């Protein structure tokens, strides 16, 4: 089968908050970046989805700090002025706290280690990692606020009407939360979620230029074994969050998720999907802020009850070996198709940040094929042939 349009072009599966490119309509330009690295990338797709433009720019290096600040916003933005920037930052901080608190309660023993940092020109982030707990092998929940500059050619490419105007560098702002959770028990699923907001300002020498903004993100489930009641519960929570805003969102974003997390060389999806969206700005901004908030707040009720139910399920070495093989698939996707990960590895980024989304353990076997009709086969079949769960 031909690969989905997003398979080899984008991903938000790692803990980098912003995919480096995203699926979009042929006439629409995408800009994305990874805040842990000096990078900004713009892609402009033709109807044949051919990469047209590529640009890079530096982002200031982070400085570790001993205590998390109240805000990472620049003073010129206002620390709590009711702007979308301020409210989105507040939301991701609150969600990080609520998710970490819920995960520590489920684990019972593991505690999150926190690293906070800032950048000289504004922005910063908080990384939290729980490792080798009673329930979670590895759980990372990161937030980031980033200020940077788009190169002028990226700005020109993003304009709706081509002109001879040559503006200078365009300032941008982005904030997001991203998480990957790997439980120990093979019957408890891995979870990934990521929600982000992006904005550009007018360049200094083109004050009349329009400000651009968009939202992106999603939540997806990656189990090793299928419990239909669990998958239906997870998808029903995603649909409920979507339906509060637009009944077209869930089917649209569910399919987008199935297409997005596609392992081309295996001809299979990474997991059983959820929702995914990017470059979303064709609705009211206040509505989309509320939508992203609703989705982020749905993570705990969608996921924690499943882990609570499965964390103590007895399992065999064979079950664990299958989980390790599926972890191998997760790693393949991250290292082969996740553009933020591969860019970071090639450019000498902070290795702990680059690989924090990966599990502690994984497994590869030569030419492994589960027996047809087995529970392992059923999972693989669902990854190769996405289903409608609700």
Residues identified as active-site: 192
**253 and 215 Cβ atoms separated by less than 8 Å:** no
**319 and 363 Cβ atoms separated by less than 8 Å:** no
**163 and 173 Cβ atoms separated by less than 8 Å:** no
SS3 343: helix
d(CA 371, CA 367) in angstroms, rounded, equals: 13
Whole-angstrom CA distances from 72 to 126, 229, 275 are 10, 41, 28
**Neighbour-count burial for 251-286, b at 16+ CB within 10 Å, e otherwise:** eebbbbbbbbbbbeeeebbbbbbbbbbbbbeeeeee
The pairing of beta strand 124-131 with beta strand 136-150: antiparallel
Six token digits for residue 217 = 């993100």
**85 and 77 Cβ atoms separated by less than 8 Å:** yes
How many C-beta atoms lie closer than 10 Å to residue 66's C-beta? 5
Write the CB contacts of 27 (distance below 8 Å, at least 6 apart in sequence). Answer: none
- In the block, tokens 């400000």 appear at 211
């Amino acid at each position: 089968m031909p690969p989905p349009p997003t398979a080899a072009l984008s991903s938000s599966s790692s803990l980098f908050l912003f995919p480096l490119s995203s699926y979009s309509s042929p006439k629409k330009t995408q800009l994305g970046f990874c805040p842990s690295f000096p990078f900004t990338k713009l892609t402009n797709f033709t109807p044949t989805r051919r990469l047209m433009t590529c640009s890079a720019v530096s982002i200031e290096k982070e400085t570790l700090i001993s205590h998390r600040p109240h805000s990472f916003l620049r003073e010129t933005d206002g620390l709590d002025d009711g702007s979308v920037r301020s409210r989105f930052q507040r939301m991701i901080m609150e969600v990080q706290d609520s998710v970490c608190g819920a995960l520590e309660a489920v684990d019972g023993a593991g505690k999150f280690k926190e690293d906070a940092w800032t950048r000289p020109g504004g922005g910063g982030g908080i990384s939290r990692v729980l490792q080798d707990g009673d329930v979670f092998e590895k759980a990372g929940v990161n937030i980031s606020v980033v200020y940077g500059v788009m190169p002028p050619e990226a700005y020109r490419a993003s304009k709706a009407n081509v002109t001879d105007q040559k503006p200078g560098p365009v300032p941008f702002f982005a904030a997001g939360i991203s998480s990957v959770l790997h439980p120990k028990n093979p019957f408890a699923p891995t979870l990934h979620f990521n929600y982000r907001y992006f904005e550009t300002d007018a360049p200094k020498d083109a004050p009349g230029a329009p400000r651009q903004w968009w939202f992106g993100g999603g939540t997806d489930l990656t189990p090793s074994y299928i419990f239909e009641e669990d998958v239906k519960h997870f998808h029903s929570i995603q649909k409920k969050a979507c339906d509060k805003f637009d009944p077209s969102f869930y089917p649209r974003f569910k399919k987008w998720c199935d297409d997005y997390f596609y392992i081309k060389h295996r001809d299979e999806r990474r997991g059983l999907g959820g929702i995914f969206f990017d470059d979303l700005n064709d609705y009211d901004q206040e509505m989309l802020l509320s939508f992203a908030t609703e989705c982020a707040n749905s993570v705990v009720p969608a996921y924690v009850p499943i882990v609570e139910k499965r964390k103590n399920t007895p399992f065999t070495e064979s079950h664990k070996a299958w989980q390790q093989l599926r972890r191998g698939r997760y790693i393949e996707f991250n290292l082969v198709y996740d553009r933020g990960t591969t860019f970071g590895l090639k450019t000498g980024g902070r290795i702990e940040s680059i690989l924090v989304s990966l599990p502690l353990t994984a497994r590869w076997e030569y030419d492994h094929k589960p027996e047809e009709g087995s529970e392992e086969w059923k999972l693989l079949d669902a990854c190769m042939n996405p289903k409608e769960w609700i």
